[in-house]
Structure formats: C-alpha cells, structure tokens
C-alpha cells in the first residue's frame, strides 16, 4: 500500500506524513515506520489536511492576483479589473502553483 500511495502524494503531503510519523513516534514512545504513518495519516488526517491546504492555497493565490491587479492598475493609471486577473492567470498562475506545491507557499498546514 505504501509505495502505491507514496507515488500519488505531493511533496507537501509527503512532508506532512513525515511530520505525522514523528508525532506518532513521540506519542507512542516507539519507532514508527513510514508505511504505518502513511496509513494512519490517510485514515485520520488526510481529508482535513487537504481541505486546509486547499483553503490556504486559494487564499494565497487570491492575494497574489490582487497584488498583480493593483500593480498593473497603478502602472496603467486606471483600474484594470478582470483584465489584470486574466493576465495573471495566463502569465503567472502555473509558475506560482509550481512554487507553492514545492513547499514555498504557506506553512504546509
């Protein structure tokens, strides 16, 4: 089970599982293997973690879009509105998402 599920996890999820493993080991006072921690994380933590991570992602993305809209509107000396939003989506969204998923965005929940 571990290897199959491991391949489907994002880097941030892998980090969350590792933190969960450390927490389980500390709580139980024994060594906890990655597969055991992964199974426990998937059963007890994954849904809430992913929901929180998605909310964090969307809030961060919205902040970046609004920042871009403000900067571009200042340059143009007018409110660019949805034009600036679409510009961010076309020109910056993919790179921002990659940066975020590499673990740079937020606290990793």
Q: How far apart are CA 25 and CA 78, in angstroms?
A: 56
- Residue 109 scores a pLDDT above 90: no
Better pLDDT: 108 or 77 = 77
User: Tens digit of pLDDT for each residue in 4-37?
Assistant: 566 788 888 999 999 999 999 999 999 999 999 9
- Residue 63 scores a pLDDT above 90: yes
87 closest CA partner among 72, 103, 106, 108: 72
Long-range (24+ apart) CB contacts under 8 A made by 95-103 are: 96/61, 96/64, 97/61, 100/57, 100/60, 100/61, 101/10, 101/11, 101/12, 102/11, 103/11, 103/12, 103/15
pLDDT at 77: 97
Q: How far apart are CA 86 and CA 88, in angstroms?
A: 5
* pLDDT band, very low/low/confident/very high, at 102 (cuts 50, 70, 90): confident
Name the packing angle between helices 34-44 and 46-76 (round to 10°).
80
């Amino acid at each position: 089970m571990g290897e199959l599920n491991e391949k489907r996890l994002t880097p941030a999820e892998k980090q969350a599982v590792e933190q969960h493993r450390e927490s389980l080991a500390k709580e139980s006072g024994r060594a906890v293997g990655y597969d055991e921690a992964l199974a426990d994380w998937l059963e007890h933590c994954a849904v809430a973690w992913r929901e929180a991570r998605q909310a964090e992602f969307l809030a961060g993305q919205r902040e970046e879009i609004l920042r871009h809209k403000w900067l571009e509107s200042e340059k143009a000396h007018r409110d660019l509105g949805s034009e600036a939003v679409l510009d961010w989506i076309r020109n910056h969204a993919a790179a921002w998402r990659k940066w975020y998923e590499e673990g740079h965005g937020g606290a990793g929940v």
